[in-house]
Structure 1
């Protein structure tokens, strides 16, 4: 199928979803709903897994989702289905209305305010369907894996994966808003093994893009995975100590995620956040800035509107280390007596400002301490800020990697970790909607032997 016909087909699918969404809202209103909203989506994909040069799985996917929320005054009911035939849609309407009729009034319930709906819909360059057939995907998976297996010391493979995905979605509500979105996301990955029964290590690497023409070289992904795997050989444990910790970019991203969790509406109106009532207060060093930029062409988090149809806009989250605002949809905003920040469904393209140091310079700043390349476990409390996670990585001495380490735990409180942030690197990981480099934290407890 050519890209032109793929585009035509996607437009037809969006038209069908839009017509169905608008019709469903009309029928829900006729059934007595004072307000209604519909989210509908179609996701299409190809996933191929290869191991040791042989095909393990080939999976074609076509998933559909359809959810309806109705409001009878301030009583809310929701229902969903994956079957878009008329009987299933009618049953979904009936179920949502029945739930709403028997729930309690909620003063915060209702659609987002009508005057906040998006009215401009620029092309954000998110749609790049990858016309890859199964045979080509298999060959690419083998190339990725062979790139790593060719490196001396790699003894086995957990396999490579090739994924091509397209997502189409529509959001409509009884304000008359109708928004359409289409996006693609494709990935290549491989996991490799080094060693033998006396001691083995495993690691991986991947690339993720909207446009398959922007993949890094397939064999280079395999070589990167091999390099990471071999670098973990002969890993040691550390004695318990206090030391500075450098979080690699792909791990530092999770520290941003914990910050978002602590300043998101759900945590705040439940009063279950260690950053409760912190708008206008210092939470990070004075040199720190984080901006949300939802309209970046091709960005993984780019969107013209949020999950409620509210228009997205560029907006700072952290300025000079001070928390500028919370992360709110309309419901949590009303619970807090505030306004939606256009973040129903999450944030869009967070840009963490950095000081310009590349990874080598960040190691020099670390001096002697721990480089963390992987964290494990769920030992993070958004309520108290307590942070304790299993980790592996490398011990660094005088700005140079000395040896790999494993089976350790790193611990502190997020409030202290944010306050004691020394630097953010320019080694930005672009495979996410959270764009950050490595983070250097002044001091943490490292629990080992």
Structure 2
């Protein structure tokens, strides 16, 4: 188990888990896995400095997966009574007995499971009342509204806090679990009047509430972003260099993960099929995975199957070194799990050519003349072909200086080519969830404007 103290609830979870595994074996299951979790949260929203909603949640769940050879069945319940536990195991067993055999089904091998792991310090409870949360959200929105008379309205501000803990284990000897937390704040102001109104937003999310920026700084920055949109106009259709702001660059990293994940690969629905050992990004690009960073949002000592996680180099000098595989997708591909069941863990996209001085202003100068994109609209990504087409909002840049905002445009390209055409990555790194990147400059994309 983790080095975290075992609470009374966690001890109860371990007992429930052992009972469920034992009952599965009694029924004749060849293998079984159980996960038990409990969480609580508080969410508040305000608008025009007045309370809109307060939501308090408390959730609990137990999921059971049993195997009859290579047949698999799953069931879940929120009732932790012994009777409900056994009924859930029996429901999963019933499903397993009547499903078709799947040669790839089964638990991870014992030598792949995490047997010992460090406390990654992922739990920072926030003892905050609904009244205190509302006051913080009001401070954030008020800072946005007071920045300028041109901030005329607001879609509101919100604060969310969530914490919980879980235990998971299987019939091959794995038992693990830990507590976790996540706290976030957001603001979305509106500027202008009539048909010339614009909206933008900003938010922050951390494991530790003390790491969140002040409400005032979030509100002011959201308002500054909104005010900058008031100069919006159209630009001519053409091919231009495109600079993706860091929050959007993280999305490009997410596209790489999606295209190199086991499910897309074994279904042959990825534009990066058979790309292992091949150059998929510009030769100066490195992508690394660091699952064991303390207090990071993407940290985990083991994946959703109990497989141990470890540091990995995903891309070295543009060449793909590893996929993102669960034990199931790994078997489908004739490979080994990478500890990626449930997703990636703290990915960093960086350039070996980047310097600390390459902040956003430096990146704008590198681009010279082109489009700086700060918002994407729609989901126009075809992961089978790599075709990429998204509505966008941004800023027209000439000689490295922003001239005006740009609206009603679409940017298009192909991810396979875009990845190869990464000119530079900025030092203005931003983390969104489990992914971190600075702004990314693409050599050329099609821009449909006026």
Post-superposition CA distance 1:265-316 (Å, at most 9, x none): 0011111111100100001111111011100111111111011111101010
Distance 1:431 1:77 in 2: 34
Aligned to 2:151: 154
Which of 65, 72, 77 matches 2:68?
72
Aligned to 1:391: 392
* 3-state SS in 2 of match to 1:430: strand
2:32/2:64 contact within 8 Å kept: yes
Aligned to 2:8: 12
Aligned to 2:137: 141
Post-superposition CA distance 1:33-91 (Å, at most 9, x none): 10000122112111111111111111111111221111000001111122223333222
Aligned to 1:39: 35
Equivalent pairs counted in the alignment come to 442
Aligned to 2:200: 203
Distance 2:379 2:164 in 1: 30
1:318 aligns with 2:315: yes
Distance 1:66 1:239 in 2: 56
* 3-state SS in 1 of match to 2:336: coil
Q: Which runs of 5+ in 1 are unaligned?
A: 1-6
Distance 1:13 1:231 in 2: 50
2:165/2:178 contact within 8 Å kept: yes
Shift of 1:125: 1.4
Aligned to 2:418: 417
1:447 aligns with 2:448: yes
Shift of 1:212: 1.1
Distance 2:21 2:300 in 1: 23
Shift of 1:227: 0.3
Distance 2:183 2:155 in 1: 20
Shift of 1:402: 0.7
Please report the TM-score for the alignment, with normalisation by the length of structure 1: 0.96
Which of 81, 88, 108 matches 1:92?
88
Shift of 1:209: 1.1
Distance 1:437 1:39 in 2: 36
Which of 171, 175, 183 matches 1:174?
171
Distance 2:75 2:123 in 1: 29
Distance 2:117 2:18 in 1: 19
Distance 2:14 2:397 in 1: 55
Aligned to 2:235: 238
Post-superposition CA distance 1:171-190 (Å, at most 9, x none): 11001111112111101111
* 3-state SS in 2 of match to 1:312: coil
Distance 1:297 1:221 in 2: 24
Distance 1:136 1:189 in 2: 16
1:209/1:431 contact within 8 Å kept: no
2:160/2:183 contact within 8 Å kept: yes
Aligned to 2:407: 406
1:204/1:228 contact within 8 Å kept: yes
Please report the TM-score for the alignment, with normalisation by the length of structure 2: 0.96
Higher alpha-carbon deviation: 249-258 or 191-200: 191-200
1:375/1:392 contact within 8 Å kept: yes
Shift of 1:135: 1.5
Aligned to 1:4: none
Post-superposition CA distance 1:3-33 (Å, at most 9, x none): xxxx98x822222222212211111111111
Distance 1:40 1:109 in 2: 21
Distance 1:365 1:324 in 2: 29
Distance 1:109 1:175 in 2: 15
Distance 2:411 2:239 in 1: 10
- RMSD of aligned C-alpha atoms? 1.2
Post-superposition CA distance 1:94-121 (Å, at most 9, x none): 2111110011111111001111111222
1:27 aligns with 2:23: yes
Shift of 1:206: 1.1
Distance 2:107 2:169 in 1: 11
* 3-state SS in 2 of match to 1:289: strand
Distance 1:380 1:15 in 2: 45
Q: Which runs of 5+ in 2 are unaligned?
A: none
Aligned to 1:362: 363
Which of 294, 300, 305 matches 1:308?
305
Query: Structure 1 residue runs of 4+, over 3 Å off?
Result: none
* 3-state SS in 2 of match to 1:363: helix
Distance 1:131 1:95 in 2: 39
